[in-house]
Amino acid sequence: MKRSELDDLRRPQRRMNLGAEADRMSAVGRQCRERCRSGLGPGWFESVVYTDFTDTRGEVVERDMPEMRSGTDVERYTAKVRDYLCRQPENLALRKLRSGKSLTPADLASLEELLARSGVGAPEDMARAVANAHGLGRFIRSLVGLDQQAVQEAFAEFLGERTATASQIDFVNLVIGHLTRHGEMDPKLLFEAPFTDAAPQGPTRLFAPEQTRRLVGVIKSINDSVATTA
């Protein structure tokens, strides 16, 4: 810095001007802080907005909301029941059910007690699942399926009536696999995938008419075996 500038700073008037400027800046800073604390204060960016809305919703009507049931849903309930039943291989009624044999009232009572002991879900969960399956026996067999050997034996006579072709055997094996997994089968599924993958036009083009009737008859007899006998 030049000597003349130092001399200029030492002058009283220059020092007074610098002090006044500092005081002014400090006052501006305080004003800004105060306005920020008070939300910019009155008059800052304020504008008046006028509205004119008309309610077009009509009359308010009270409605009762449906009761929301807590607890397990059907899918989780059936999954837990399936897991429990798969760990009960020695239950005689369950073994009878999986073998495709008809059940007695005592068998159904045993199965109902078995489900009650599982501790899965609430009584209404079981009642709803049984109703959807059209019976306790059908519900349980839809979960545990059928014994594969028992299903194969049910179709042995059908396949042994005459020499079956490779395509016919493959088709019947698909039916056996479905019954083993699901415990029953709607005959209408014979005209849907995966069965149409083996016979695109259905079993009526793969088997003679009488054979097709016999095939459907075997399926129905397996489905009906879950019915209760006196």
The model's pLDDT over 159-182, given as tens digits with 9 standing for 90+, comes to 988 889 999 999 999 999 999 999
Q: Does the predicted TM-score (pTM) go above 0.85? A: no
31-87: pLDDT as tens digits: 656 665 555 555 544 556 566 656 566 665 666 554 444 445 778 899 999 999 999
- Helix (H, G, I), strand (E, B), or coil: what is residue 183? coil
By the 8 A CB rule, do 223 and 189 touch? Answer: no
47: alpha, beta or left? (left if phi > 0; alpha if psi -120 to 50): beta
**Of 164, 160, 220, 169, the residue nearest 199 (C-alpha):** 169
Q: Tokens for 109?
A: 């009572």
- Helix (H, G, I), strand (E, B), or coil: what is residue 146? coil
Mark 54-85 as b/e (b = at least 16 C-beta within 10 Å). eeeeeeeeeeeeeeeeeeeeeeebbebbeebb
